[in-house]
Structure 1
Amino acid sequence: MADSSKDIQLRELKDMITDLKKMIKTLQATVDAANKREEALTQERDNLKDEVALLRKKLFGSSSEKRTLDIPGQLNFFNEAEMEQDPAAAKAEELEASLPDKTGKKRKARTTDAERFKGIPVQKKYLDLADGEKFCPVCDTALEEIGEEFVRRELVFIPAKLKVYEYYSKNYTCPECSRRDLPVIKKGKDGKPHMLYGMASAGTVAWVMYQKFCNGLPYCRQEKDWKQYGAAITRATMANWVIHNSEAFFLPMYEYFHRKLQEREFAMADETPLQVLHEPGRRAQTKSYMWLFRSGEDGGPPIILYKYSETRAGDTAVDFLHGFKGYLMCDGYSGYNKVPDAKRTACWAHIRRYLTDAIPKGKELDYAQPSVQGIMYINQLFHLEDMIKTKYTSFDAIKKARLEKEKPIVEGFLSWLDNQSPVRGSRMDKAVTYIQNRRSYLATYLEDGRCSFSNNLSEIAIRPFTVGRNYAVSRIMFCSAA
């Protein structure tokens, strides 16, 4: 029996409903995918905006890493009362705070001209009358000097002057022996053989090195200065002075201090890129590196050495620190892991730097921001570190104070770190990843009072190269092993 029209219509409606449900599911999946794509694009946009804000802050903002310990309007994370448990001092502080005439922090006294110019020779200049004016305008009587009065003080810069010393030896002979065909001749000597390469004196070579490596003044600019002084000294000549004299006089001393550094138990290291021109077999745009190795804060005499390398490979650190056994303070670069007998310690200044970069624009005082919370922990550690170093001088006392005061904060910081789940790809995500990768090194400095808390000393020592690395460098060999 043929289906009735109602049955056919009913089946068509059921098929239509099924098709509509499939269409709804397809549209819903499309909408969900679009929402996810929009969310990802929005997050990517926010990350890029944060990157732009960070670059602007690095370019135009303050470069100081100093941060206030407390946030206005918020309670401090930590109780610092245990650092100074002196009831008498606390009562005196409360009494001082209750006084009505209590003022704020005393400002540093302004430095006087006499203090600024202390040690500089002083020459008096007199403002005198002309000879024709030393008569009374009323009775035309000659005036008498009655004293002097201070008017002003000026700092006068006297440009450098060059001199050329020509050494001649005076020769002497014996007239009596000359008559007997046995001439005796003596020549004047200073007992100091000329060992410098080139015609420059030791002071001249030292000045060129100081300008180049301390002030970051390239040879091309020094060449112009020498021309103003009246001497045509080319940059190639200056480079030869520095290279040959450094190899002759500094290399033995460098190798001696290198051996002494390898015998120490605490060392610090850092590296920075620089560009070298006219290097055989390499393009001028190729990136090279200057490595710094120095002794740690172990109370011994400081040793600071530089090592030039064409690459950033960790083999440079392995070769330089061959034989070193002890604690090594460095940044997060994984190349230092190749040093076999070195126990790495983490730089807390680098960790704070990453968290500082993760703070959203305008949220520096927002206590709810995870990056601000992390910085609060680290600022407290820096504060305690300063107080401990000021209060204690023995390394055993420093270690004991660190374990008592700083270890709980480090543990609290690690617990806070485990609870962080930042948005993937954000600056906070990069900061958390950076810290987690160095988690095993964070508490190493607590093992010995001689361990460094940060790598700031290395960064300060390598700063001259970062200042001058934008200039063209003809050749770098100063203080580097051959």
Structure 2
Amino acid sequence: MEQLALLMETNRKQSEIIESQAKTIEELRATIVELNASLAWLKRKVFGKMSEKCNPINSGDPMLPFDYGDLGQIEAEIEAARNKAAQIITPKPQVAGKTPRRNRIIMDDLPVVTVIIEPENLDLDKYVKIGEEHTRTLEMKPGYLYVKDTVRPTYAIKDETEAIENGKRMVVTAPLPLMPIYKGMPGASMLAEILLQKYEYHVPFYRQVKQLEHLGVKLSRNTLDGWFKPVCELLRPLYLELKKKVLSSDYIQVDETTLPVIDHDRHKAAKEYIWIVRAAVPRLLFFHYDNGSRSQKVAVDLLKTFKGYLQCDGYSAYDAFENRKDVRLCGCLAHIRRHIESCREENREYAMQGLKFIQDLYNVEYMADERQLSHEERAALRQRLAGPLLDAFELWLQNTYPKVLKRSLT
């Protein structure tokens, strides 16, 4: 009985295996058929003919046994139908000439202001006008766009013999004034407004594009970006001169601040830094950007020609100037006040004493502002009032420092 049960169990397992294998075989067959079909399609795409034309029928080729009737009559009817269709269908006429330039289409609907430039020192009695040269630029006033059409008449001399004898030019046209962008569509006023919107009012290009569309001109962000770069190059000499003037001062204030820069590859804003250098007395400043870095090397390269008093915060990058004899580092009362303010909860007594010194120093400046003192008068007031206050503040710091724990905020 045990052997019979064992045989039946073995038979059952074998049947299950056979059934499973048969199912697998059917699935594999279906896969093979599918792969063969895909392979045939790929072969046709790669090696076969891509044309869908039918091969011409030869008269000797066997034809299917259908009753076509009179083939000659059918062919005549087909030819007549083809001729009739050819008469109805007319081909699209080819228009000769160039496609209109896009900038002309853009400026077609704008008002035009014409400016005529005549050649200088030209005796018009001896010349005859033979044509004109037009240069159209896109100009802008606040809230108003227009086209400036610069017209330069062309004149030809009446007496060619006189031109040859006296060395006069046969044909004369006034020179075209310099353009901000060579052969560019925008005029100086348009470019100035774009930069003013971007840097003075912080309006990005995509919003400026929408504003310009409301004024009657449809431009793209790429177009504004393409105008922006050459204009920056035009302004570079002014920037370098401003930078030179600021660094020639004997007292400057320097700081660096974060600047979010769009990273198109990562689709997010990267945290970078921009430097600000300000000459306090002439009230001039410039910005400096070096690949978004705030490293010590940037500060050293930026201020390598400076000599005088350098006011900055406690950032370690400025430690490089401690060993320079021609530069003297100065702290900032605003940063000192910020640190003392943070100690109010831990040691209110010392913090309030320090804040009182700083408040008295600022009161001296308020007094000078209210009296509208000149630089010389302000300096005299500082020597008389702020000088003793700073001496007392320094003495207080020296006496207070040993009384606080080294690890405390105070």
TM-score by length of 1: 0.47
CA distance in 1, matches of 2:264, 2:284: 29
Distance 1:217 1:385 in 2: 36
Change (3 A) 1:235 1:358: farther
Alignment-derived partner of residue 327 in structure 1? 309
How far did residue 357 of structure 1 move?
4.5
Please state whether the residue corresponding to 2:149 is helix, strand or coil: coil
Question: Amino acid of the residue matched to residue 286 of structure 2?
Answer: L
Whether contact under 8 Å (1:269, 1:293) holds in the other structure is: yes
- The alignment yields a C-alpha RMSD, in angstroms, of 3.4
Report the equivalent of 1:92: none
Deviation at 1:318, TM superposition (A): 0.9
- The residue number in structure 2 matching 1:252 is 237
Deviates more, 1:340-349 or 1:411-420: 411-420
Q: Which residue of 2 aligns with 1:318?
A: 300
Question: Between Structure 1 and Structure 2, which shows a larger proportion of strand residues?
Answer: 2
Q: Which runs of 5+ in 1 are unaligned?
A: 1-157, 433-482
Q: Which amino acid aligns with 1:338?
A: A
Cα deviation code 1:138-163 (max 9, x no counterpart) = xxxxxxxxxxxxxxxxxxxx971110
1:308 aligns with 2:289: yes
Q: Does 1:296 align with 2:280?
A: yes
Residue 181 of structure 2 aligns to a residue whose secondary structure is coil
1:375 aligned to 2:375? no
- Residue 335 of structure 2 aligns to a residue whose secondary structure is helix
Conservation of the 8 A alpha-carbon contact between 2:275 and 2:288 = yes
Q: Tell whether the 8 Å contact from 2:163 to 2:170 is kept in structure 1 after alignment.
A: no
Q: In the alignment, what sits opposite 2:181? A: 196
1:347 corresponds to 2:337: no
State the partner residue of 2:44.
none
Residues 212 and 219, structure 2, Cα contact 8 Å, conserved in 1: yes
Tell me, yes or no, if structure 1 residue 220 matches structure 2 residue 206.
Answer: yes
Aligned to 2:148: 165
Q: CA contact under 8 A between 2:257 and 2:275: conserved in structure 1?
A: yes
For 1:186, the equivalent position in structure 2 comes to 172
CA distance in 1, matches of 2:363, 2:375: 17
Match of 1:268 among 237, 240, 253: 253
Q: For 1:160 and 1:388, how far apart are their aligned partners in 2? A: 42
Distance change >3 Å, CA 254–CA 308, structure 1 → 2: same
User: Secondary structure at the residue paired with 1:305?
Assistant: strand
Cα separation, partners in 2 of 1:404 and 1:165, compared to 1, 3 Å: same
Q: Secondary structure at the match of 1:259?
A: helix
Q: Is the 8 A contact 1:329 1:347 kept in 2?
A: yes
Deviation at 1:269, TM superposition (A): 0.8
CA, structure 1 residues 234+207, in 2 after alignment: closer, same or farther (shift >3 Å)? same
Deviations 1:305-345 (A, max 9, x none): 11112211021111111121111011221112223442111
Contact 1:392-1:398 at 8 Å conserved across structures: no
Q: Secondary structure at the match of 2:243?
A: helix
Match of 1:287 in 2: 271
CA distance in 2, matches of 1:272, 1:287: 10
> Judging changes above 3 Å, is the alpha-carbon distance between structure 1 residues 169 and 296 closer, same or farther for their aligned structure 2 residues?
same
Using the alignment, how far apart are the partners of 1:188 and 1:285 within structure 2? 50
What amino acid maps onto 1:288 in structure 2? E
Aligned partner of residue 145 in structure 2, secondary structure: coil
Q: Which residue of 2 aligns with 1:403?
A: 387
Deviation string 1:363-405 (CA, Å, 9 cap, x unpaired) is: 9xxx955433432221122113333565674276255323234
Q: In the alignment, residue 289 of structure 1 is paired with which amino acid?
A: Y
Change (3 A) 1:159 1:328: closer
Give the letter aligned to residue 293 of structure 2.
T
User: Whose relative contact order is higher, 1 or 2, with alpha carbons under 8 Å and at least 6 apart?
Assistant: 1
- Rounded Cα–Cα distance in structure 2 between residues aligned with 1:407 and 1:392: 24
Shift of 1:252: 1.4
Q: Which runs of 5+ in 2 are unaligned?
A: 1-140
Instruction: Give the Cα separation in 2 of the matches to 1:229 and 1:294.
Output: 38
Structure 2 length as normaliser, TM-score? Answer: 0.55
Out of 148, 159, 164, the residue aligned to residue 176 of structure 1 is: 159
Q: Is the 8 A contact 1:178 1:184 kept in 2?
A: no
Match of 2:192?
Answer: 206
Are the equivalent residues in 2 in contact too, given 1:381–1:409 (CA < 8 A)?
no
- Per-residue CA distance 1:384-435 (angstroms, 9 max, x = gap): 33335656742762553232343213432453454344985xxxx1xx4xxx
Q: Give yes or no for contact 2:263–2:270 (8 Å, CA) kept in 1.
A: no
- The residue matched to 2:151 in structure 1 has which SS? coil
Which whole-Å CA distance do the structure 1 matches of 2:352 and 2:276 have between them? 32
2-structure distance, mates of 1:194, 1:397:
51
CA distance in 2, matches of 1:214, 1:180: 54
Bigger CA radius of gyration: 2
Q: Is the 8 A contact 1:290 1:306 kept in 2?
A: yes
- Tell me, yes or no, if the aligned pair for 2:263 and 2:269 is still in contact at 8 Å: no
